[in-house]
Amino acid sequence: MTLAERAFERLQAWPDLRTGHPSCGTGRALRSPHGEIVHFHSDRDVDLHLTGRAIERFARDLQGSTAIHLVPGSRWVTVHLDCDTDVDLLLSLVSMALKAYQGQAGEAAATCNFRRVTVVPRDIPA
């Protein structure tokens, strides 16, 4: 089972999320009552929709992670899953996204980062 499959399986069990087709047309999506939250594009690359406020608040921390890739002006962040810790990070960020969107009116998700981010594999010591 790939890391993305493992993360998808765990998130799919969350009561606030349901599966669907991503608006970008590639992969699988998880939606909240407020809109698309996560796009699983490959065995390792996942796009997560955050509020602008959440990105501003955590930008420094997000930029410090080798698993996170930000696109200027995008409210989607790309998470590259290389290890179990990256899956845990994704789950934490999804939880944060769900809380951030509570109480907000549903909105159409802007275009995700698919094909806008090139991930260079990081060296992981054996």
Residues 21, 94, 124, 66: is their CA dihedral positive or negative? positive
- If one counts every other C-beta atom within 10 angstroms of the C-beta of residue 112, the result is 28
pLDDT at 105 over 80: no
Quick one: average pLDDT of 77-99? 94
pLDDT of residue 37: 92
- If one counts every other C-beta atom within 10 angstroms of the C-beta of residue 41, the result is 21
Question: Greater confidence, 55 or 95?
Answer: 95
